């Protein structure tokens, strides 16, 4: 999170998960525990730190742009209720004046195949998260490729009222799953 705290502009694309800056505590806990040998207590502590660090998105002097695929929003690591809370979180942060959130719906052709997500800091550093560590890229051609991919997906994403409508539709689908998965 040190990169986020020092950046004036953060641009993130994700095709498979909710970005760390937008995760609820429970979603973050499950993400941090996946694929690693982290016990529940450590995962919960790390999730609390992650959520606390999210305060940076409320800083009006910083700019945040997020583009997610609908697949990232529909992929659920826990219960349907967890995802309903996560969808509420997305709807809330989408109203921040310094944050732009777009989702590429399944109803439009993707401009390319999203091989991986990435986060770009101040257009000078791009980070790709993996299960075993972060890949950091700073070469101009790497940054240009990531910025180009972000802009291509951003161009077909929905925002504003269309975003809220899409989140509502996805939430309705998760509400239908509650009786099947939660008792």
Per the domain annotation, does 136 fall within a domain? yes
144 domain residue, yes or no: yes
Question: Domain with 146 in it: what CATH number?
Answer: 3.30.870
- Write down the pLDDT at residue 35: 65
Q: What is the pTM of this model?
A: 0.94
Residue bearing tokens 């240009």: 144
What is the DSSP code string of 96-164?
-TTEEEEEE-TTS--SS-----EEEETTTEEEEE-SS-EEEE--HHHHHHHHHHHHHHHHH-B-HHHHH
pLDDT computed for residue 133 by the predictor: 83
Task: Say what the pLDDT of residue 32 is.
Answer: 85
Q: Is pLDDT above 90 for 61?
A: yes
27 lies in a domain? Answer: no
Cβ–Cβ under 8 Å, residues 81 and 89: no
Lowest mean pLDDT among 29-43, 52-66, 128-142, 156-170: 29-43
């Amino acid at each position: 999170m040190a990169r986020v705290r020092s950046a004036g502009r953060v641009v993130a694309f994700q095709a498979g998960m909710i970005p760390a800056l937008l995760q609820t505590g429970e979603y973050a806990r499950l993400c941090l525990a996946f694929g690693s040998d982290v016990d529940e207590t450590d995962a919960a502590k790390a999730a609390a730190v992650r959520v606390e660090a999210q305060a940076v998105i409320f800083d009006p002097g910083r700019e945040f742009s997020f583009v997610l695929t609908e697949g990232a929003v529909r992929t659920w690591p826990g219960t349907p209720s967890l995802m309903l809370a996560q969808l509420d979180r997305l709807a809330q942060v989408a109203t921040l004046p310094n944050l732009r959130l777009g989702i590429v719906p399944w109803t439009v052709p993707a401009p390319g195949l999203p091989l991986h997500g990435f986060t770009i800091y101040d257009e000078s550093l791009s980070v790709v998260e993996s299960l075993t560590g972060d890949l950091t890229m700073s070469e101009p051609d790497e940054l240009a490729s990531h910025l180009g991919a972000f802009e291509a997906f951003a161009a077909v994403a929905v925002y504003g009222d269309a975003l809220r409508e899409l989140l509502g539709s996805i939430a309705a689908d998760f509400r239908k799953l509650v009786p099947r998965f939660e008792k």
